[in-house]
Structure 1
Amino acid sequence: MKRFLSNQTPALLICRAALSFSWIYQGAVPKILFCSSGETELLGHIIPVYAWACIAVTWMGVAEIAFGVLLLVARRGWVFWLNVLTLSGLLLFVALFEPGMFTLPFNPLTLNTALIALSIIAVMELKKLNSGV
């Protein structure tokens, strides 16, 4: 673990920590611990049976936690590009089904844009490490 941390730039470590924390928190708190009604309603656009939507939200939480851990330890840039693609897809989903969410404070647009920026910075930092710059 010490070797892994020693060859990371401070910027990359900050990106990893922030991205991982965000995914793990979003998976654990609003999805698994509290099964947020907002999460269930949003998913209800594609899963009309409420009980199934609740189950899906829980499994999404588990997947988000796993993805957060992956972002913490990933050695390749594709994981961060997958994050960019996923967050962009989530933004599109919200824009199509719940556009009113974009008017709320700390809404998906502001959060996802910041996380996408951190992912791009992480890719740039990984490129520096891999090229020996």
Structure 2
Amino acid sequence: MTLQLCRFSLAFIWIYQGIVPKWLGPHEDELAMNQVLGASHKQAMWIAYGGGALEVLLGLAILVWWRRHWPYQLSAAGIGVLSLFVFLLAPQYLLAAFNAATVNVAILALSVIALVELLRGSLKRP
């Protein structure tokens, strides 16, 4: 039950974050964060679309390969890298409503809980 809750929550978050603020816009905050890297507006749009595709793929991977460790490890590592990026290059987004810090901590926690549940399940098998 816990693993399934983590699985569906993580998949929803990654797919939503890939589609709504990146593909259906992209949102001005997404573009601004990409432009911190020195990207032009057009390049920032393509970065957002590419990042959105990767997020959707990760969400789908979590749905399909939910009994494997790697999607949750990739989720934890990916959110760690994204968090570091925001912390170092765009810290103003850590103070906004529904900010990167709160969402990223939730993604990291769900990923770790899923990994723990997978480990517990593998230890119970003969």
Common topology (TM > 0.5): yes
> 1:78-93 counterparts in 2 under 5 A?
78-93=70-85
String of CA shifts for 1:27-58, please: whole Å, max 9, x gaps.
00110012111101101122422112101211
Paired residues, number: 124
- Deviation of 1:19 after TM superposition, in Å, equals 0.3
Q: Name the larger-Rg structure.
A: 1
Contact 2:86 2:93 in 1 (8 A): yes
Aligned residues: CA RMSD: 1.3
Aligned equivalents of 1:63, 1:83: Cα separation in 2? 11
Q: Specify the alignment match of 1:125 in structure 2.
A: 117
User: Quick one: percent identity of the two aligned structures?
Assistant: 35
- Deviation of 1:85 after TM superposition, in Å, equals 1.1
Which of 19, 28, 32 is 2:23 aligned to? 32
Task: Please tell me the residue identity of whatever aligns with 2:47.
Answer: A
- Deviation of 1:73 after TM superposition, in Å, equals 2.2
- Deviation of 1:98 after TM superposition, in Å, equals 1.3
> Partner of 1:39: helix, strand, or coil?
helix
- Deviation of 1:78 after TM superposition, in Å, equals 2.5
> Partner of 1:64: helix, strand, or coil?
helix
Q: Specify the alignment match of 2:88 in structure 1.
A: 96
Structure 1 unpaired stretches of 5+: 1-9
Aligned equivalents of 1:58, 1:82: Cα separation in 2? 19
Task: Please tell me the residue identity of whatever aligns with 2:33.
Answer: L
Q: Specify the alignment match of 2:98 in structure 1.
A: 106
Aligned equivalents of 1:12, 1:130: Cα separation in 2? 13
Task: Please tell me the residue identity of whatever aligns with 1:122.
Answer: A
Q: Structure 1: which 4+ aligned runs deviate by more than 2 Å?
A: none
Normalised to the residue count of structure 2, the TM-score between the two structures is 0.91
String of CA shifts for 1:63-103, please: whole Å, max 9, x gaps.
11111000122222122122111111111101111111111
